[in-house]
Amino acid sequence: MMGRDVATRRVEHARGHNER
């Protein structure tokens, strides 16, 4: 559960930076 949570958080962070 922690491994998948980290991967999802990284994707959410990368999408926010890419939206700029």
> What pLDDT does 10 receive?
79
Tokens 């890419």 — which residue?
18
Beta-carbon neighbour count of residue 4 at 10 Å? 8
For residues 14, 1, 3, 12, the Cα torsion angle rounded to the nearest 10 degrees is 0
pTM exceeds 0.75, yes or no: no
* Residue-by-residue pLDDT tens, the chain, 20 positions: 677 887 777 777 667 665 66
How far separated are the first and last CA of the chain, in Å rounded? 30
Pairwise CA distance, residues 20 & 14, whole Å: 10
